[in-house]
Amino acid sequence: MKVTFHGAAKGVTGSNHYVEAGNTRLLVDCGLFQGSSATKKRNFEELPYNPADIDFVLLTHAHIDHSGRIPLLYKKGYKGEVLCTKPTKGLCEIMLPDSAYIQEKETEYKNRKRKRSGGKSLSPLYTMDDAQTAVRHFKSVQYDNIIKLNGEVSVRFREAGHILGSAAIEIWINENNKTIKTVFSGDLGKFDTPIIRDPFFIDEADYLVIESTYGNRLHEYKSNREKAMFDIIEETLMNKGTVIIPSFAVGRTQEMIFGFNRQIDLKNRYKIIKRTPVYIDSPLAISATEVFKNNEEVFDDEAKEYIFSGDNPLDFENLIYTRTADESKEINLNNDPKIIISASGMCDAGRIKHHLKHNLWKRNCTVLFVGYQAEGTLGRRLVDGAKSVKIFKDTIKVNARIEMIDGFSGHGDKEDLDKYIEGFKTKPQKVFIVHGEEEQQIGFSKRLKNKYGLSTIIPDPGQTFELSCAECVDSTPEPNRELTKQKFKRLELLNMIKKVKDEIDDLTDIISNDTLNSMNDTEINKSIVTYSGIENEIYSLIELLENINEKN
Ligand SMILES: [Zn+2]
């Protein structure tokens, strides 16, 4: 069998693994590339296989960086089914049309700009129709059942503990009368995520493909994350401020709701929180909460106990869901302290941007991050300490308290990943490390080698491996190997340039906000000299690249 890593290879998003075995071709996940504009451009590249040739798509979970290009597959000719768990199907039924809506809106916006400048109009990556076609082909499978796809391939979905419906997928491939078992971990959760069951320990595999988002990091707050969060919320409310919690609509928001519910049940603590309205301001989060309610059979024991005792884990007295845009706008009409949980989790789209615009400049407000913030996002800039940010073309000064509690992440940290690895009684002969930033992957890889004696590979995008019972061989065709390397380097360069662009924005803000003239003439002159040097370097780089382009 052969595996080619087309996405989330030396990166976090765009999960897409192509498996060839005998006459069968299948994909594990087909997600969107997310983050900086250079990364997002990869969504528009030609697919590296013909979707019409694919027999099956196996989907680990509903997150868009794993599922978001499935509508594109159908648009490009895929005719088969998408196998996933029942909750994943339910979540994708709302998330993929939502993703299509965003694609259509973004394209509309770009086209308006292009029209004014006389440019050619673009078409969206896919439309609502493509998304609807896709979700009609989703077929739900039971956790823990072996499903025979054909004479060559069998699969089994196991709890991954990451979000509702998430699964690690075991794939058995029978070739030349020998069976090879490969496990694709998908995204792995923590061992104590509320509502969601713990990851299932798979005890044997010939090959393991594992995520590494927190491959070499510990969550700063573990057992005390809720206390840390409610302490911050209480302090803010006491100061008559509002708390904004940017939250992924699916998973994190429901975890937050359950967290609030549990605190409210503790009679003598955080009394002020019980009297404060908690808004869930995201239509997608509201629909996702409905999907959660329809899949209580896969909840963990604690959440099930709530249900048995007659309490709905996803509801409490001061919780207010706001679906329409008007309801959302009303939230900011008064200055009363409140708690607003809104999407997107990384603040680069959605209603959260309005709430930030209304509250970031207020000293008594808090923005509380409870999830991973990718490079290039507004959320990341805030966490990194930006003094001011641009929202809808306005520059907003950051006076609010910015806090990050990473213990809520849906991803297990290095201790959780080690625990998962220790669950393998028969160790895999090779571990492929995907879905992580480079630093995390290298640290994780070293640990797997030193602590567990495992042999590891961090695949490049587009790299192919031939896996047999005896060995694993890099079988990427030679021209492809060079090509993907070059492509990858080019993307790296684009990302670096994008970063400089953001930094120049920060510089502009610092200088234009220096209204008190705190920099003296000598300091200004020194800055001018330093900046001129940088400018000259950039000019010579532009000249060099232009010359190369002209020659070709
Ligand atoms: Zn995920």
pLDDT, position 444: 97
The string of pLDDT tens digits covering residues 201-250 is 999 999 999 999 999 999 887 778 889 999 999 999 999 999 999 998 99
Q: What is the pLDDT of residue 516?
A: 66
Q: Would you list the domain boundaries of the chain?
A: 2-218+410-476, 225-408, 479-518, 521-552
What per-residue confidence (pLDDT) applies to 192?
Answer: 86
| CA 66 to centroid of ligand 1, rounded, Å | 7
Question: Residue 293's Cα: distance from chain center in Å?
Answer: 23
Distance CA 63, CA 305 (A): 27
What is the rounded radius of gyration, in angstroms, for the C-alpha atoms of the chain?
A: 24
C-alpha 372 to ligand 1 mean position (Å): 11
Alpha-carbon span 120 to 129, nearest angstrom:
23
What is the structure's pLDDT at 196? 95
Q: From ligand 1's centre to the CA of 19, what distance in Å? A: 21
Distance separating alpha carbons of residues 31 and 95, to the nearest angstrom:
12
How far is ligand 1, taken at its centre, from the CA of residue 35, in Å?
14
Q: Can you tell me the distance from the alpha carbon of 382 to that of 8, in angstroms, rounded to the nearest whole number?
A: 25
Distance 163 CA to ligand 1 centre (A): 7
Ligand 1: centre distance to CA 79 (Å)? 25
DSSP state of 454: -
C-alpha 61 to ligand 1 mean position (Å): 7
Q: How far apart are CA 437 and CA 497, in angstroms?
A: 18
**Alpha carbon of 36 to ligand 1 centroid (Å):** 18
Quote the CA–CA distance of 513 and 516 in Å, as a whole number.
8
Per-residue pLDDT, 515: 65
Query: 432 CA to middle of ligand 1, Å?
Result: 18
Write out residues in the chain with pLDDT < 70, as ranges. 483-485, 487-488, 515-516, 552
| pLDDT, tens digit, 9 for 90 and up, residues 394-410 | 999 999 999 999 788 88
Closest CA to 145 of 190, 187, 83: 83
HEC profile of 320-379: EECCCHHHHHHHCCCCCCCEEEECCCCCCCCCHHHHHHHHCCCCCCEEEECCCCCCCCHH
Q: What pLDDT shows up at residue 552?
A: 65
Compute the distance from residue 184 Cα to the ligand 1 centre, in Å: 13
Global pTM reads 0.83
Alpha carbon of 213 to ligand 1 centroid (Å):
10
Classified by CATH at the fold level, domain 2-218+410-476 comes out as: Metallo-beta-lactamase; Chain A (3.60.15)
225-408 has which fold? Answer: Rossmann fold (3.40.50)
